[in-house]
């Protein structure tokens, strides 16, 4: 594959396939949270704002763990960062077994925080690793391709969670986490036994000259990229968190389980299709231009969600997932492009920006406590910021 070859013709296909499997695992971990959010509202009888703590602790883990994860990866390499992330992920998942007996919201939050710390290590290692497994010019397209398989995890999370937790009489909350914990342990063992090439940024960019003379925080395309990524994760997480609430409040006679299935096959299905489509389109359209088009589309969808109702609003919410699809990998790749010796450090700060996912659901829960559609003002504003980043990217990334 051309996307996973360097300019010198070195093939990175096998490492790319192995690392891409990780994208599925964290997609599942994130998307099942959206089912947990509504499940805890019903079972533990808590408010929308309080249930949003489910997302807050996971994404808060990103903020607290990103710098330590980056330091660990700089010292021990990408492979060891992946292994550490997988072990933390498994530990948090297995804690749901005693958690299902205690039925303590605080204990579940602690378990999810451990999972969030593990996911931080995985994303801090895997996202930049994929961007450097080949020609820097195709980094955004390559990351979109890898993130397409992340979309499969996003589909299965609400599917499994909805079928188990919203079944008649309610299901055992530990069941899906016990299963994914076992899978994660097996993947960790695989990474312990397989050696991956440790690519150094200095080598990747040796054809482009010496190290950057300016510091990381003087790279405008990176600085604004951090803000754009913060806004994207805020928007995506907020929309996912209250998708089920929006659908069940839309007077279309759909219950929790049916809404979870709609999220799985409708929203997340379009999300996955969008990532494959985006990877293909970026071979023909500049990444920043495509990002601008998709940001405008998502903004319009949010307006329709807020003013609409019934199937009209739900359909607009579905379509928004298609426009959201390319945003994370594209913003990440654009922000990290040509940072040379700063790449690993920049990855840590970009992963910290994922803390946006801890803030938006809480704000949306507060704004939409009576009618959740009003909470969608938050992601609408976020898409404006993303559109601005895409529109100004060429100017921001211009070298002095």
CATH code: domain of residue 93:
1.20.1250.20
- What span, in angstroms and rounded, lies between the C-alpha atoms of 26 and 228? 21
Report, as an integer, the average pLDDT of 36-51: 87
The pLDDT, as a whole number, for residue 400 is 42
**Is residue 1 in a domain?**
no
The total of structural domains in the chain comes to 1
**CB crowding 317-335: b at 16 or more within 10 Å, else e:** bbbbbbbbbbbbbbbbbbb
Asked if residues 88 and 120 have their Cβ atoms less than 8 Å apart, the reply is no
The pLDDT, as a whole number, for residue 144 is 73
- What span, in angstroms and rounded, lies between the C-alpha atoms of 33 and 127? 21
* Least confident among 114-118, 229-233, 255-259, 327-331: 255-259
**Is residue 126 in a domain?**
yes
- What span, in angstroms and rounded, lies between the C-alpha atoms of 383 and 300? 9
The pLDDT, as a whole number, for residue 7 is 57
**Is residue 2 in a domain?**
no
194: containing domain: 11-396
- Among 14-28, 118-132, 264-278, 375-389, the range of highest mean pLDDT: 375-389
The pLDDT, as a whole number, for residue 393 is 95
Confidence class of residue 5 from pLDDT cuts 50, 70 and 90? low
Report, as an integer, the average pLDDT of 313-324: 95
pLDDT at 204 over 60: no
* Least confident among 59-68, 160-169, 237-246: 160-169
Confidence class of residue 177 from pLDDT cuts 50, 70 and 90? very high
The pLDDT, as a whole number, for residue 208 is 44
Please state, for a pLDDT cut of 70, what percent of the chain lies above it: 91
Residue 162, burial from CB neighbour count under 10 angstroms (0-12, 13-18, 19+):
buried
Three-state SS for the chain is CHHHECCCCCECHHHHHHHHHHHHHHHHHHHHHHHHHHHHHHHCCCCHHHHCHHHHHHHHHHHHHHHHHHHHHHHHCHHHHHHHHHHHHHHHHHCHHHHHHHCCHHHHHHHHHHHHHHHHHHHHHHHHHHHCCCCHHHHHHHHHHHHHHHHHHHHHHHHHHHHHHCCCCCCCCHHHHHHHHHHHHHHHHHHHHCCCCCCCHHHHCHHHCCCCCCCHHHCHHHHHHHHHHHHHHHHHHHHHHCHHHHHHCCCCCCCHHHHHHHHHHHHHHHHHHHHHHHHHHCCCCCHHHHHHHHHHHHHHHHHHHHHCCHHHHHHHHHHHHHHHCCHHHHHHHHHHCCCHHHHHHHHHHHHHHHHHHHHHHHHHHHHCCCCHHHHHHHHHHHHHHHHHHHHHHHHHCCCC
pLDDT tens column, 139-152 = 777 877 787 788 78
* Least confident among 175-189, 202-216, 345-359, 386-400: 202-216
Report, as an integer, the average pLDDT of 178-204: 79
C-alpha dihedral, 333 to 339 to 340 to 344, nearest 10°: -70
pLDDT at 257 over 90: no
Task: State the average pLDDT for the chain.
Answer: 86
pLDDT tens column, 69-104 = 988 988 888 889 999 999 999 999 999 999 999 989
Listed residue (18, 14, 197, 173) closest to 98, CA to CA: 173
pLDDT at 392 over 60: yes
Q: Which residue is it, tokens 């063992």?
A: 189
Confidence class of residue 247 from pLDDT cuts 50, 70 and 90? very high
Going from the C-alpha of 335 to that of each of 20, 131, 153, 225, 340, the distances in angstroms are: 20, 11, 25, 5, 12
Please state, for a pLDDT cut of 90, what percent of the chain lies above it: 42
**Is residue 305 in a domain?**
yes
**Is residue 4 in a domain?**
no
**Is residue 6 in a domain?**
no
The pLDDT, as a whole number, for residue 6 is 56
* Least confident among 27-31, 184-188, 248-252, 295-299: 248-252
Report, as an integer, the average pLDDT of 47-53: 87
Report, as an integer, the average pLDDT of 226-236: 96
Report, as an integer, the average pLDDT of 254-265: 86
Asked if residues 73 and 81 have their Cβ atoms less than 8 Å apart, the reply is yes
pLDDT at 203 over 50: no
């Amino acid at each position: 594959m051309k996307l996973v070859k360097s300019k010198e013709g070195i093939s990175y296909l096998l490492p790319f396939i192995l690392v891409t499997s990780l994208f599925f695992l964290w997609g599942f971990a994130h998307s099942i949270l959206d089912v947990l959010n509504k499940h805890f509202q019903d079972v533990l009888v808590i408010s929308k704002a309080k249930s949003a703590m489910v997302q807050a602790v996971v994404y808060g883990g990103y903020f607290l763990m990103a710098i330590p994860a980056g330091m660990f990866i700089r010292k021990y390499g990408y492979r060891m960062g992946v292994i550490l992330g997988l072990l933390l992920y498994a530990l948090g998942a297995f804690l749901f077994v005693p958690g299902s007996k205690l039925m303590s919201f605080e204990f579940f939050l602690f378990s999810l925080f451990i999972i969030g710390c593990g996911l931080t290590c995985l994303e801090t290692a895997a996202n930049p690793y994929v961007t450097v497994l080949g020609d820097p010019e195709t980094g955004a397209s390559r990351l979109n391709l890898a993130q397409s398989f992340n979309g499969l995890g996003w589909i299965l999370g609400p599917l499994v969670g909805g079928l188990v937790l919203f079944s008649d009489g309610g299901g055992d909350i530990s069941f899906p986490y016990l299963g994914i914990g076992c899978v994660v342990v097996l993947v960790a063992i695989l990474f312990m036994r397989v050696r991956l090439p440790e690519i150094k940024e200095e080598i990747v960019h040796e054809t482009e000259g010496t190290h950057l003379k300016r510091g990381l925080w003087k790279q405008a395309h990176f600085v604004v990229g951090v803000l754009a990524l913060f806004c994207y994760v805020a928007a995506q997480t907020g929309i996912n968190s209250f998708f089920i609430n929006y659908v069940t409040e839309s007077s279309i006679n759909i219950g929790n389980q049916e809404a979870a299935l709609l999220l799985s096959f409708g929203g997340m299905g379009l999300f996955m299709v969008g990532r494959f489509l985006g990877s293909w389109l970026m071979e023909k359209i500049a990444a920043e231009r495509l990002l601008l088009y998709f940001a405008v589309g998502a903004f319009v969808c949010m307006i329709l969600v807020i003013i609409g109702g019934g199937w009209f609003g739900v359909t607009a919410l579905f379509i928004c997932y298609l426009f959201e699809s390319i945003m994370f990998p594209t913003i990440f790749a654009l922000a990290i492009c040509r940072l040379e010796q700063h790449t690993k450090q920049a990855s840590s700060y970009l992963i910290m920006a994922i803390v946006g996912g801890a803030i938006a659901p809480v704000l949306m829960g507060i704004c939409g406590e009576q009618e959740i559609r009003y909470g969608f003002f938050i992601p609408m504003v976020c898409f404006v910021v993303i559109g601005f980043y895409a529109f100004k990217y060429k100017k921001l990334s211009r070298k002095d």
